[in-house]
Amino acid sequence: MASLVTIEDLGVEYRSRGEVLRAAHNVRFFIGEGEAVGLVGESGSGKSTIGKAILRLLPPNGRIVSGRIMYQGRDLAAISPEEMRGLRWSRIAMIFQSSMNSLNPVYRVGDQIIEAIRTHNPGMKRAVALERTCEVLANVGIDPSRHTSYPHQLSGGMRQRVNIAMALALSPPLIIADEPTTALDVVTQDRVLRELKLQQEQRRISMLLVSHDIAVIAENCDRVAVMYAGTIAEFAPTKNIFNNPYHPYTLGLQNAFPDFRSHRALVSIPGFPPTGARSRGCMFVQRCPFAEELCSSETPRPTQVEDDHWVACHFTQRASEFQRLARDPDTWLGRTG
Amino acid sequence: MNKTNININTNIKSGTIAEPSLLRVDSLTKWFPLRRGLLAGRKKGPGAYIRAVDGVSFEVKPGQSLGLAGESGSGKTVTAEMLARLQSPTAGTIHFLGEDVTTARSRDLMRFRRQVQMVFQNPYDCLNERWRVYDIVREPLIIHRLGHGNEHLDTCKEMLTVVGLQPAEHYLYRYPHELSGGERQRVAIARALVLRPALLIADEPTTMLDVSVRAGVLNLFRKLQQDLDLSILFISHEFSTISYICDTTAIMYLGKIMEIGPTSQVFSHRYHPYSDALAASLPVVNAEDKRPPARISGEIPGAASIPRGCRFAPRCPYQAPACTAEEPPLLPVDSSHRVACVIWSGETPSSEQRAFQENVLRRQDEEGGAA
Amino acid sequence: MFCKPGSTPPGRFERGPNTGMFSMKDIWRLARRDRLSLIGFFLFAAIIVMALIGPSLAPYEPLTINRGLDGKVPILKPPSAEYLLGTNDLGRDIFSQILVGSRTVVIIGLYGALIAAVVGTILGVISGYYRGHVDNVLQRLVEAAYSIPFEPLAIVIVSILSPSVWTIILAVSLVYWRQAMRVIRTQVLSMRERAFIKSARVAGASDFRIMLYHITPNILPLTFVYLPVAFGNAVLAEAAISFLGFGDPTSISWGQILRQAFTKGASIQSWWWVFSPGLFITITTASVFFCTRPFEEILNPRLRR
């Protein structure tokens, strides 16, 4: 499968009050054409940072310090801000958790989509843009006649759908969706995600779905990158992540995950996630039940363990042993972070 | 660790029911008046109120835990705050250990507060940032004039150990901003437990925690149930956490209980179409096949405009004329399970409704067969 | 599954754990970022030092009629090495008057601000915490305070009581508590909905305890930020009263120097007599307003979002 986006050794730093925080470090993964890739991690793991870095929408105190973001022959990390501005919406669309509230309250939602379309197609007639707007609204399950509604007349779920419609309006090859449904109720979340997924599959759009919710990622993505403390712990097809995980963190997450359909006991990973990346060694070393000396002295490089399956762990050859031990709660107890 | 230091039987007034209930709530109601602007005054008529909680009744037995599940806007937090006596009900009563505490004041209220404590959703908001952990955990003891300074220290250490903050000395003199979300939530729990309450109200206590930390806090609740014989009223919009903690679950929708029964039954049988839709909307980690979409339409309306009849009817795929005629009461479907739906109380269900009914019964049989 | 309504958990570096509140540390951090406010801090400190040690540094007795070596009274001399800011029509040294007068100004400023801030904080906390009827009554009181023009009130008070420094302080604090009260009330209104306050109520804490131990410590930084504003207002108020002739006749203040200059018809010819007190009043008030510039947003709730 040809990859549309390739991220190589990406590093992002934030500076605040004289401190430097490595929010992303040595991040590498790719998004294939027409594929949905999930970026999952806990708060502070840097998952949103990656999304923002691709869009070059990092906050003023953040910057890309290393690596490349290759997209359609261009390095997004190196192009000029003007060039980037031209790419946003038309080549890379975005949906954020906050987009729900980012619609301009004084304009009709249809006009906002038309505006977006015509900015990128200067010659286009308004009627043509309107037709296109109604079409994308219908695609995401909104009655096209609602294009005359103002944002406050729509519910949260509807507004997020309008955002998805806006993202689709210019038929971009890539969509970055950062926690697009986190603020919505379960019923609405499910419906909005279904529409997003359907459009993504039908139009063969590539998507980076950033979420803290493993189940959402599992249902909607072809591949998953598991982030921990600014690094990618494991990157593999979704099936592999859930059936054949190598990284101890991925293994720990599986035990920690409540599911009302099963009755197994939960096991938490001891300790707390660190903020940002350590300078040396494996990021997970303090909480890992299998850690050895090597883990704190040397940073593990991502190793390819199978086709399309990369793991940043020194002991990938012991994966089956880890998998067996990880199922036993005692493995995770007795160590404090 | 001692068990709760109250003797339940002596607290029960003579003449109450045979099996003592720790908490009994009858038709609890909270309506907020809608103001329409400075000079217009209060609106009159049925649309004049936001009916946040609209007649909720349930019971918690000693040592049992009840889960309140529902979407945002279902009234579960307002219910919790009324039970914690943070808001006063518009109507209805709250009985604690047989005693009416709905409007208890001064001494009676203080006695109630010793028995019922609460933890909140946001760990970054629930601790006074200017206080050290020791002062935070100790405050209830000072308020209730229990023990002396040196005893407080021991009690606090013990409490911190109970909630898994070990070594306790390491945490006693730290400020909240030095702690992570999981640690903060544990401090909040320690504070709530320091009075050895019989009932802990937990309002979405794990929603804001990270996955790897959340499991630890959930396990802590389980441990407290077993070791302290603590009853927990657990409020969450997540089926998974409720099913992990609670014996009984109530599904709330727009201020009313739609279904209440033993947790395993509520989640597996799902007598109410709303419970069924909620469960069907949850994403699955390891799905074999694609999950079919949930059969539910629209979004939860505001509590100011509650539909006539069954409040879920407009979104219900099995809606029939009988649904909008009258509000269905919460009626038993078996000894411990009650549902408010015409499908189970109506005389003549429609064919759609009958199909749903058969579906539920089949699930029930399958479960019975498996067990 | 583990989704949630509202927002993602606050990451420890994405958002600080100290949500929605600000502390003394934040005050310093905000102030340090703003050059002008730093300058304001130093100027303010200089004025305070001046009030503390200035009077003992005064080269002349401020009310003495000086005589030169030639025995002549130096009437309306422009600034020179001998008389740094010149002399007035009675041959008194204006520089010495300014130095000695600074103490009166600072005393009125500090006490006035302190009383206004303390009263404003207490009433703000009570009003915001109790809401309902208490709030209603107190809000009407604030509106009344806002509708009273300061000068007429001061004149009435001074004519009922005797004209003294303390009378002026009373007048100042009677009027300027309103601003602090409003700002603090708004903060308390939102703070009382926060979980740690609810937690205190559930624990059984009395209203008094909650206000004293939970709300006040968290609101205090705001009071501190408000202090300089009140100080500036008090200084201006004192100048106005003294200029109108209702000041304390026994002590020198900048407003009084201005008044004398005005009543004696000092104008372009003896500009130093008008200019010097005016300059110091301006420096003082400007310094405190510079100080508070970074906190504008906190002080004026309307600017927020």
**CATH value at residue C94:** 1.10.3720.10
C2/A257 touch (CB, cutoff 8 Å), yes or no: yes
For residue C124, tell me if it sits in a domain. Answer: yes
A215/B284 touch (CB, cutoff 8 Å), yes or no: yes
Max avg pLDDT among B11-20, B337-346, C90-99? B337-346
DSSP characters over B300-359 = PPPTTSPPSSSTTGGG-TT--HHHHHSPPP-EEEETTEEE--HHHH-SS--HHHHHHHHH
| Average pLDDT rounded to a whole number, residues A93-111 | 84
Residues B233 and B319 in one domain: no
For residue C19, tell me if it sits in a domain. Answer: no
The pLDDT score that the predictor gives to residue C296 is 66
Question: Is the C-alpha dihedral spanning B347, B352, B358, B361 positive or negative?
Answer: negative
Report ipTM (2 d.p.): 0.87
Residues B75 and B152 in one domain: yes
- Residue C11, pLDDT above cutoff 60: no
Residues A271/A286, Cβ–Cβ less than 8 Å: yes
* Best mutation target, B124, B177, B240, to test chain C (most C CBs within 10 A): B124
Residues A22/A11, Cβ–Cβ less than 8 Å: yes
For residue C242, tell me if it sits in a domain. Answer: yes
* Best mutation target, B105, B130, B209, to test chain C (most C CBs within 10 A): B130
B208/C9 touch (CB, cutoff 8 Å), yes or no: yes
Distances (CA, A) of C304 to C15, C219, C293, C295, C299: 18, 17, 14, 11, 9
Question: H or E segment at A235?
Answer: strand A231-237
Residue of chain C whose alpha carbon sits nearest to that of A254: C1
For residue B287, tell me if it sits in a domain. Answer: no
Residues B345 and B197 in one domain: no
B211/C2 touch (CB, cutoff 8 Å), yes or no: yes
- Residue C69, pLDDT above cutoff 80: no
C228 min Cα distance to partner chain B (Å): 24
Provide, as residue numbers in chain B, all residues whose Cβ is less than 8 Å from the Cβ of C19. Answer: 122, 124-125
A272/B182 touch (CB, cutoff 8 Å), yes or no: yes
pLDDT bucket at B161, cuts 50 / 70 / 90 = very high
Q: How many domains does chain B have?
A: 2
Query: Tell me: the pLDDT tens digits for B25-65?
Result: 999 999 988 765 555 555 556 567 888 999 999 999 999 99
pLDDT bucket at C291, cuts 50 / 70 / 90 = confident
**Which two tokens mark B293?**
């979409």
A74 min Cα distance to partner chain C (Å): 29
State how far the Cα of C79 lies from the Cα of C59, in Å rounded to an integer.
Answer: 14
| Average pLDDT rounded to a whole number, residues B203-226 | 90
pTM of the model: 0.85
Residues B199 and B74 in one domain: yes
For residue B298, tell me if it sits in a domain. Answer: no
Per-residue three-class SS string for B245-310: HCCEEEEEECCEEEEEEEHHHHHHHCCCHHHHHHHHHCCCCCCCCCCCCCCCCCCCCCCCCCCCCC
C8/A216 touch (CB, cutoff 8 Å), yes or no: no
| Average pLDDT rounded to a whole number, residues A223-245 | 92
Q: Which domain holds residue B166?
A: 23-33+47-246
- For position B129, which CATH number holds? 3.40.50.300
Chain centroid to CA B261: 13
Residue of chain A whose alpha carbon sits nearest to that of C10: A43
Residue of chain B whose alpha carbon sits nearest to that of C5: B72
φ and ψ at A146, to 5 degrees?
Answer: -80, 5
Question: H or E segment at A332?
Answer: helix A329-332
Torsion from C-alpha of C245, C250, C252, C256, nearest 10 degrees: 10
For residue C219, tell me if it sits in a domain. Answer: yes
For residue B11, tell me if it sits in a domain. Answer: no
State how far the Cα of B209 lies from the Cα of B192, in Å rounded to an integer.
Answer: 18
A276 min Cα distance to partner chain C (Å): 8
Residues B161 and B310 in one domain: no
Write the CB contacts of B138 (distance below 8 Å, at least 6 apart in sequence). Answer: B152, B155, B156, B194
For residue B16, tell me if it sits in a domain. Answer: no
The rounded percent of chain B whose pLDDT value lies above 70 is: 90
More confident residue, C119 or B288: C119
A300 DSSP 8-state letter: P
The pLDDT score that the predictor gives to residue C225 is 80
More confident residue, A136 or C268: A136
For residue B54, tell me if it sits in a domain. Answer: yes
SS3 state at A93: strand
Nearest to A186 among B211, B216, B281 (CB): B281
Chain centroid to CA B360: 25
Residues B111 and B187 in one domain: yes
State how far the Cα of C147 lies from the Cα of C137, in Å rounded to an integer.
Answer: 15
Residues B115 and B155 in one domain: yes
For residue C225, tell me if it sits in a domain. Answer: yes
Residue of chain C whose alpha carbon sits nearest to that of B184: C17
Q: Which domain holds residue C253?
A: 24-304
pLDDT bucket at C19, cuts 50 / 70 / 90 = very low
Residue of chain C whose alpha carbon sits nearest to that of A23: C13
| Average pLDDT rounded to a whole number, residues C15-35 | 59
**Which two tokens mark B320?**
């029939």
| Average pLDDT rounded to a whole number, residues C135-144 | 90
The pLDDT score that the predictor gives to residue B370 is 58
- Residue B257, pLDDT above cutoff 90: yes
Question: H or E segment at A3?
Answer: strand A3-16
Residues B182 and B130 in one domain: yes
For residue B261, tell me if it sits in a domain. Answer: no
Query: Tell me: the pLDDT tens digits for B185-205?
Result: 999 999 999 999 999 999 999
Distances (CA, A) of A142 to A86, A149, A162: 28, 11, 8
Residues B102 and B226 in one domain: yes
- Residue A300, pLDDT above cutoff 80: yes
The pLDDT score that the predictor gives to residue C221 is 83
C203/B209 touch (CB, cutoff 8 Å), yes or no: no
- Residue C9, pLDDT above cutoff 50: no
Residues A269/B212, Cβ–Cβ less than 8 Å: yes
Distances (CA, A) of B299 to A154, A155, A183, A191, A308: 11, 8, 14, 11, 40
State how far the Cα of B182 lies from the Cα of B123, in Å rounded to an integer.
Answer: 8
Place of tokens 């707007």: A133
Q: Which amino acid is at A198?
A: L
| Average pLDDT rounded to a whole number, residues B80-104 | 93
B213 min Cα distance to partner chain C (Å): 12
Range with lowest mean pLDDT among A202-206, A211-215, A243-247, B300-304: B300-304
Q: How many domains does chain C have?
A: 1
For residue C129, tell me if it sits in a domain. Answer: yes
Task: Name the neighbours of A, counting chains with at least 3 Cβ pairs within 8 A.
Answer: B, C
B291/A219 touch (CB, cutoff 8 Å), yes or no: yes
Provide, as residue numbers in chain B, all residues whose Cβ is less than 8 Å from the Cβ of C9. Answer: 181, 208-210
State how far the Cα of C177 lies from the Cα of C169, in Å rounded to an integer.
Answer: 12
Residues A235/A29, Cβ–Cβ less than 8 Å: yes
The rounded percent of chain A whose pLDDT value lies above 70 is: 96
Write the CB contacts of B321 (distance below 8 Å, at least 6 apart in sequence). Answer: none
The pLDDT score that the predictor gives to residue C167 is 87
Query: Tell me: the pLDDT tens digits for A59-71?
Result: 888 999 999 999 9
Provide, as residue numbers in chain A, all residues whose Cβ is less than 8 Å from the Cβ of C7. Answer: 97, 182-183
For residue B2, tell me if it sits in a domain. Answer: no
A258/B238 touch (CB, cutoff 8 Å), yes or no: yes
The rounded percent of chain C whose pLDDT value lies above 70 is: 80
